[in-house]
């Protein structure tokens, strides 16, 4: 039975805060997913194309994609299977380490990105960045960064950090 202590916990403002975060994020994802679907992409597929497009030489290892996304290595295999079937990416063997598979964005993959991006950014502007003042937005991003660094300390590397060692990149 729910006693007083539990009643307090049920109504705890911190739980509501998490609910708010998840509803905002989930709702935004749903809006963005609708536009991506118009271009034949699932959100996770778009994320992978985007990360490849943002990477030097437009390529990443399977493992990098696993670390940067929320997918397991198995999950990355399946998604890349689909993307490769659709000719949006290709697997490329690494010559210096034959365990490694590089995933490379194809011209078709780049075209798809170019196709999707304008509308994508437009929706973000409408449903997120355009709703808040510059100071508000900046404050929220600063807070989110603090949270992100704490809950996902390993994923701090963004588009700027070279995940692949230089020598391996050159040797591909």
Partner DNA sequence: GAAGATTGAAGCCTCAATCTTT
Partner DNA sequence: AAAGATTGAGGCTTCAATCTTC
Site string for a copy of itself, 79-118 (x = CB under 8 A): ----------------------------x--xx-xx--xx
Task: Tell me which stretch binds a copy of itself (CB under 8 A): 34-42, 74-82, 87-95, 134-142.
Answer: 134-142
Scored b (16 or more CB within 10 A) or e, 8-27 reads eeeeeeeeeeeeeeeeeeee
- Smaller CB distance to a copy of itself: residue 25 or 93? 25
Q: Which does 33 bind (CB under 5 to 8 A by kind): DNA, a copy of itself, none?
A: none
Give the integer Cα–Cα distance in Å for 136 and 74.
39
- Count Cα atoms within 13 angstroms, Cβ side, for 44: 16
CB of 86 to a copy of itself, least distance (A): 18
What are the DSSP E strand ranges found in the chain? Answer: 59-61, 89-93, 101-105
Q: Which residue has the tokens 């210096």?
A: 96
Identified binder of a copy of itself from the candidate list 72, 73, 95, 129, rule CB under 8 A: 129
Dihedral angle computed from the Cα positions of residues 49, 55, 58 and 60, in that order, rounded to the nearest 10 degrees = -80
Task: Tell me which stretch binds a copy of itself (CB under 8 A): 33-41, 72-80, 85-93, 131-139.
Answer: 131-139
* CA-CA-CA-CA torsion sign (32, 63, 51, 132): positive
Identified binder of DNA from the candidate list 42, 50, 123, 128, rule CB under 7 A: 42
Interface positions with DNA (CB under 7 A): 42, 44, 61-63, 66, 70-82, 91, 97-102
């Amino acid at each position: 039975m729910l006693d007083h202590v539990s009643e307090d916990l049920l109504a705890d403002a911190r739980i509501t805060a998490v609910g708010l975060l998840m509803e905002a994020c989930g709702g935004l994802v749903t809006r963005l997913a609708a536009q991506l679907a118009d271009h034949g992409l699932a959100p996770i597929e778009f994320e992978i194309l985007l990360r490849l497009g943002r990477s030097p030489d437009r390529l990443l290892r399977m493992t990098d994609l696993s670390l940067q996304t929320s997918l397991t290595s198995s999950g990355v295999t399946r998604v890349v299977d689909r993307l490769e079937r659709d000719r949006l990416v290709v697997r490329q063997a690494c010559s210096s380490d034959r365990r490694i598979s590089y995933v490379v964005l194809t011209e078709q993959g780049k075209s798809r990105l170019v196709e999707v991006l304008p509308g994508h950014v437009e929706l973000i502007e409408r449903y997120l960045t355009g709703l808040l003042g510059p100071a508000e937005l900046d404050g929220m991003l600063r807070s989110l960064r603090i949270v992100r660094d704490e809950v996902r300390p390993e994923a701090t590397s963004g588009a700027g950090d070279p995940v692949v060692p230089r020598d391996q990149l050159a040797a591909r």
